[in-house]
Chains A and B, each alone.
Chain A
Amino acid sequence: MAVSGRFVLLLALGAVPVVLLGQAYGLAFEALGGWLALAVLLGIVDLLLAGSPRRVGIERDLPLRVRLGQPARSDLYLTNSGRRALRGTVRDAWQPSAGAVTTRFAVHLPAGERRMVGSELRPFRRGERRVEEVAIRSFGPLGLWARQANITAPGRIRVLPPFHSRRHLPSRLARLRELDGRTSVMIRGQGTEFDSLREYVRGDDVRSIDWRATARRDELVVRTWRPERDRRVVIVIDSGRTSAARIDDEPRLDTAFEAALLLAALASRAGDRIDVIAWDRRVRARVQGQTGAELLSRMVDALASVDPELLETDWSAVPARVREITNQRALVVLLTSLETPGSSRGLLSVLPQLTQRHTVLVASVTDHGTFERVGQRADLEQTYTAAAAERALLDVARVSAAARQQGADVVTGSPADLPPAVADRYLALKAAGRL
């Protein structure tokens, strides 16, 4: 049950009879009692005439997925199966992070009819956004008292990682196409494969002339090469505690998702096979054996609900996980953080096992603010901060050097720079035939 502002006003108007009757006849208490009785009586009548909120059927129309930053439409179909018309307010109890523009709707539902109310959702957090209940407050014809009930009508929408870094994709794809059809001199390496023969044009390396084919025809013919295909790329996303740290107001984990998505989009176009796991002490998400557009949709879907765990990542099990995925030589991309020797010890200790069999690329987000702080030394406090920042940079340099010594490749960058940097390194490795 609920009361309206109109009822409060009605009660307050009782001051008039109380004062007038009290002043004229000394019947103030009688007037008070009479007015309260009248108001409550009206309220009860109103309540009895209100349509039942429990007789409202609710259907949801909701997209299953939406990308973070894009709006979605959430509609409710309300069917009044009761005998009386329902006038009142309906609240769709979305989580705040679902970003519903309106959650309260004024409705008028005649008996037996159906109405739609809806609002736009602008979710501002990744993952599953839920709604469990719809609350209906039904006022009577006088609008004094209302019946109220919560109706269970669960709904959920999966908010996918935004993939902002896809704007880098066209330029990287162009570079990938440039790799195709180059002559061997430019990309000579053991991994390149013979592609086709074509006419010699001025500028081609004379060493790539296929003399046998030239002899069969009357013109010079050169061999062309294409980058190797059908290589394995295994992306391991660290979802442990260090991935929770925010740099430029973006958690490391989200930057890792961006980098993984861009790399996957690029590598799948290049004909490689991508497998992704998010790992801390167990597998939080896994995408295996997918290709093409399906790969990316599976990835965003699987990664959407992964959040940083407050756990130390168990690196010792990572080689076994990679072995589960493939026995072939693969490019293993570790999206994690290289910060201090202490926190990276686990990673450094298993790197030799990985580099023995695979090409390993370690990608880590660095903080631009740290570099800026090194230069600011105006007063004592800033000098100490500069010293601490310098120490942090030295630690990163030491850990990176150690990782390189173990045979891994290291890529660092700010949250905006890291995804394209990882893609570039992949292209470089591909061009060099090191996959």
Chain B
Amino acid sequence: MTALKAGATAPPSVTPGPPPTSTPTVRVFFRRWSFWLGAGVLLVIASLVLLLIRGVSGADGGSDMSTTSAAPTGAKAVAQVLGQQGVTVTTADSLDAAVRAVADARASGAGGDPTVLIYDPNSFLPVDRTADLAALGGRIVLVEPDIFTLDALAPGVSVTGVVGSPSVADAGCALPVAERAGTISTSGSGYRLEGGSGSGGAGAGCFPAGDGGFSLVEEQRGDSVVTVLGASGILTNEHILEAGNASVALGLLGGVDQLVWYLPSAADLSQTGPPSLGALTPGWVTPLVLLLVVVFLAAALWRGRRLGPVVVENLPVIVRGSETVTGRARLYARSNARTRALDALRIGTVTRLSGLLGLPRSATLPEVVDAVASVAELAAADVAGILVNRLPRTDAELLELSHQLSVIERRVQVAVGRTPASPPSPPSPPTGSRS
């Protein structure tokens, strides 16, 4: 055996030049992955170009009724046409900006008050700032206002309801704007001028939109004119060309050469609420979070980079030899094979008993039963019942019979002078020398 241990060692291999490596060098790496790297770079460039084109074409924000949005719900078309007609369109996203724009327009323009368009679908308009609202002047176009806006700016107008199905409505009034247009496509909400409001105002409703409401309501109070446009759709890029929409839009908004396009936004809210979380956090928090992200990525690289290849190991199949016995026992139990199970126990016991009693292999069952009964000093009928005859009808009977079998075996062992090891004794395993 020592000859094996003193095995010769493998001859050390002499390696001239650089040893063979399986890790690609940087050059090989780039050559191998050139296609995918190229594809990735191409993808990045393509998306950048696409972003640039879309950005130039004015898809910024894409918010409804924005003068720079070319989306179906935007209002770039009407704003551009107004600009070509000599109307200066100034956009504002807060009341302060709108008031400033109105003041600027008054200072520069000769035509007095500018037209102010207010479109506020999210109810950002600070209706409680009455002084600022009054500073907007006397030429206001409210596009689909809610009742709070109406209360503040056009108290004589009330909402009648949502226009159900879009349809084309005739003017049906004497307003010159409406008469020129003839028809518009209605949508949005309907409005009504309260006849008996007693506010001293006068006005008209045009383009009936069901439920006694109108899509266009104009209220005059002294020298101020507030026009409520219920059909907000007529200003959008999608519907501006339908029916007389364009005519109404240009008539309403192009009356004077200054237009303030006021879309109330979240900027109106920050004026009144407490300072937001963003305003309270110091300026270094965002960079610090970015730094932590970088640190996290570096730590992942540090812990995740494997030193060398994954080593493959073929694992052996582990089959326990006792599995067949366990499986067969479960089959017996599942199918309640009491008789079959007891048969196995009986055959084993009888075989061992006849061995203990020195009976020949050819001994018949009745002979074994008689011999057992006489040795164990039991009634032959009982022994026959336990060893052969009784059928186990219930689990309890099976248990009892199997117990009786062990009892008989132990008695015979004691009787023939072979002391049982432990009750109930296991049969002695055959040793290698038995043949």
Interface residues of A (CB under 8 A from B): 2-5, 7-8, 11-12, 14-15, 18-19, 21-23, 26, 28-29, 31-32, 35-36, 54-67, 70, 77, 81, 89, 91, 93-97, 104, 125, 132-135, 137, 148-153, 155, 160, 163, 166, 244-247, 251-252, 293, 296-297, 300, 307-308, 310, 339, 365-375, 377, 379-381, 383-394, 397, 404, 409-414, 417-418, 420-422, 424-425
Contacts of A413 in B (CB 8 A): 431-432
Do B298 and A425 touch (CB < 8 A)? no
Contacts A135-B309, A410-B435 given; indicate if A247 touches B321 (C-beta within 8 A).
Answer: yes
The one of B8, B10, B309, B432 in contact with A422, judged by C-beta atoms closer than 8 angstroms, is: B432
Chain A proximity of B76: nearest CB distance (Å): 35
Q: Given known contacts A95-B311, A380-B333, what 12 new A-B pairs fall within 8 Å (CB)?
A: A8-B295, A8-B302, A28-B287, A64-B8, A67-B1, A133-B308, A148-B23, A339-B324, A371-B427, A374-B426, A383-B341, A392-B324
Say if the beta carbon of B280 comes within 8 Å of chain A. no
A51 to B7, CA, bound (A): 36
Contacts of B283 in A (CB 8 A): 22, 26, 28
Do B19 and A67 touch (CB < 8 A)? no
A93 to B313, CA, bound (A): 12
Interface residues of B (CB under 8 A from A): 1, 3-5, 7-10, 12-15, 18-23, 25, 282-284, 286-288, 290-292, 294-295, 298-299, 301-302, 305, 307-309, 311-313, 316-326, 328-330, 332-333, 340-342, 344-345, 347-348, 351, 395, 398-399, 402-403, 406, 422, 424-433, 435
Max count, chain A CB within 10 A of own CB: residue among B10, B18, B19, B317: B19
Contacts of B432 in A (CB 8 A): 411-413, 417-418, 420-422, 424-425
The one of A31, A377, A417 in contact with B403, judged by C-beta atoms closer than 8 angstroms, is: A377
The one of A63, A149, A293, A385 in contact with B329, judged by C-beta atoms closer than 8 angstroms, is: A385
Do A297 and B316 touch (CB < 8 A)? no
The one of A148, A297, A377 in contact with B3, judged by C-beta atoms closer than 8 angstroms, is: A297
Chain B residue with the shortest CB-CB distance to A154: B13
A370 to B344, CA, bound (A): 14
Do A372 and B10 touch (CB < 8 A)? no
The one of A93, A385, A393 in contact with B309, judged by C-beta atoms closer than 8 angstroms, is: A93
Contacts A3-B298, A385-B325, A390-B348 given; indicate if A150 touches B309 (C-beta within 8 A).
Answer: yes
A125 to B341, CA, bound (A): 40
Chain B proximity of A268: nearest CB distance (Å): 13
Do A390 and B7 touch (CB < 8 A)? no
Contacts of A137 in B (CB 8 A): 307
The one of B284, B326, B430 in contact with A388, judged by C-beta atoms closer than 8 angstroms, is: B326
Contacts of B422 in A (CB 8 A): 375
Do B341 and A96 touch (CB < 8 A)? no
Do B425 and A375 touch (CB < 8 A)? yes
A81 to B428, CA, bound (A): 70
Do A132 and B298 touch (CB < 8 A)? no
Do B20 and A151 touch (CB < 8 A)? yes
21 pairs from A and B in contact (CB 8 Å cutoff)? A3-B298, A8-B302, A11-B291, A12-B291, A15-B291, A18-B291, A56-B19, A65-B7, A67-B4, A95-B313, A152-B19, A296-B4, A375-B427, A377-B403, A381-B329, A383-B345, A384-B330, A387-B342, A387-B402, A389-B329, A394-B348
Contacts A59-B13, A150-B22 given; indicate if A163 touches B298 (C-beta within 8 A).
Answer: no
The one of B13, B347, B431 in contact with A417, judged by C-beta atoms closer than 8 angstroms, is: B431
Do B308 and A150 touch (CB < 8 A)? yes
Chain B proximity of A303: nearest CB distance (Å): 13
A308 to B333, CA, bound (A): 32
Do B424 and A375 touch (CB < 8 A)? yes
A67 to B4, CA, bound (A): 8
Top 5 closest A-B pairs, CB basis? A421-B432, A22-B284, A135-B308, A375-B426, A387-B341
Do A18 and B287 touch (CB < 8 A)? yes
Do A386 and B4 touch (CB < 8 A)? no
Contacts A95-B311, A413-B432 given; indicate if A245 touches B321 (C-beta within 8 A).
Answer: yes
Contacts of A22 in B (CB 8 A): 282-284, 287-288
Contacts of B403 in A (CB 8 A): 377
A135 to B5, CA, bound (A): 29
Contacts of B4 in A (CB 8 A): 65, 67, 160, 296-297, 300
Max count, chain A CB within 10 A of own CB: residue among B25, B291, B348, B406: B291
Chain A residue with the shortest CB-CB distance to B331: A388
Contacts A386-B402, A390-B348, A410-B435 given; indicate if A151 touches B427 (C-beta within 8 A).
Answer: no
Do A14 and B345 touch (CB < 8 A)? no
Do A155 and B302 touch (CB < 8 A)? no
Contacts of B328 in A (CB 8 A): 388, 391-392
Chain B residue with the shortest CB-CB distance to A166: B1
Chain B proximity of A309: nearest CB distance (Å): 11
Contacts of A81 in B (CB 8 A): 18
Do A63 and B344 touch (CB < 8 A)? no
Contacts A59-B13, A424-B433 given; indicate if A8 touches B299 (C-beta within 8 A).
Answer: yes
Contacts of B424 in A (CB 8 A): 375, 377
Do B326 and A385 touch (CB < 8 A)? yes
The one of A55, A152, A367, A409 in contact with B321, judged by C-beta atoms closer than 8 angstroms, is: A367
